């Protein structure tokens, strides 16, 4: 027999085949009283695990950031670039990888919400001066081979900054109780 959480309307079926109504089995038909329309998948349904997805994006963008930092450190002397001098790509890349791992773990361990907020805030604090240093480097020196790499690092750092700001806003809304948990 089927099971449903909806109330069903009982309709009795008249028996005309057997003259003895007492001996014939009682036939009952159930009909749903409420019909639901099939749900249409929206973008919101596809992005249910948004924090996990953004955390994964942080990890994936942090790895090339570290790689670009290593390439710049090998290709330039330490005094040629402010980003190389302050190890912007190394620091932000490792920081964003760590923040991404913590953000990915939020679905399974919601107690890490405060930790993730702090780490993503630190990411924003480190990324803003990092963007300034990379922009200053791009405007000051002419290494045609490494300009493209610095521009790619600038785009990656901008993406990482945007993702961290979005996560900080979502986590602060969840912590303040204005929204139900996103993860």
Query: Which pLDDT tens digit goes with each residue over 113-130?
Result: 899 999 999 999 999 999
In total, how many domains does the chain have? 1
Residue 75 has what pLDDT?
82
Residue 23 has what pLDDT?
60
Residue 80 has what pLDDT?
80
In a domain, 99, yes or no: yes
Residue 35 has what pLDDT?
62
Q: Give the domain range for residue 104.
A: 48-175
Structure-token pair, residue 177:
């109780």
In a domain, 74, yes or no: yes
Given a cut of 70, whether residue 62 has pLDDT beyond it is yes
Residue 147 has what pLDDT?
80
Write the secondary structure of 117-130 as one string of H (helix), E (strand) and C (coil): HHHHHHHHHHHHHH
In a domain, 5, yes or no: no
Exposure pattern of 128-152 as b/e (b: 16+ CB <10 Å)? eebbebbeebbeeeebeebeebbee
Mean pLDDT along residues 103-113: 86
In a domain, 25, yes or no: no
Please count the other Cβ atoms lying within 10 Å of the Cβ belonging to residue 108.
9
Q: What's the CA angle centered on 100, arms 69 and 112, to 5 degrees?
A: 140
In a domain, 23, yes or no: no
Given a cut of 50, whether residue 132 has pLDDT beyond it is yes
In a domain, 123, yes or no: yes
Please count the other Cβ atoms lying within 10 Å of the Cβ belonging to residue 105.
18
Q: Which residue has the higher pLDDT, 117 or 84?
A: 117
């Amino acid at each position: 027999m089927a099971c449903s959480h909806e109330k069903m309307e009982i309709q009795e079926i008249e028996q005309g085949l057997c003259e003895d109504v007492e001996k014939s089995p009682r036939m009952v038909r159930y009909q749903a009283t409420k019909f639901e329309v099939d749900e249409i998948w929206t973008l919101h349904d596809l992005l249910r695990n948004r924090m996990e997805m953004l955390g994964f994006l942080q990890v994936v963008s942090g790895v090339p950031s570290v790689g670009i930092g290593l390439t710049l450190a090998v290709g330039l002397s330490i005094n040629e670039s402010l980003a190389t001098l302050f190890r912007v790509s190394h620091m932000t890349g490792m920081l964003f990888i760590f923040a991404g791992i913590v953000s990915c773990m939020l679905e399974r361990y919601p107690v890490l919400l405060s930790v993730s907020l702090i780490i993503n805030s630190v990411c924003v604090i480190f990324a803003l001066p990092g963007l300034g240093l990379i922009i200053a480097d791009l405007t000051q020196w002419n290494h045609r081979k490494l300009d493209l790499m610095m521009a790619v690092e600038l785009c990656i750092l901008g993406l990482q900054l945007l993702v961290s700001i979005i996560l900080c806003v979502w986590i602060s809304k969840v912590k303040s109780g204005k929204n139900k948990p996103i993860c």
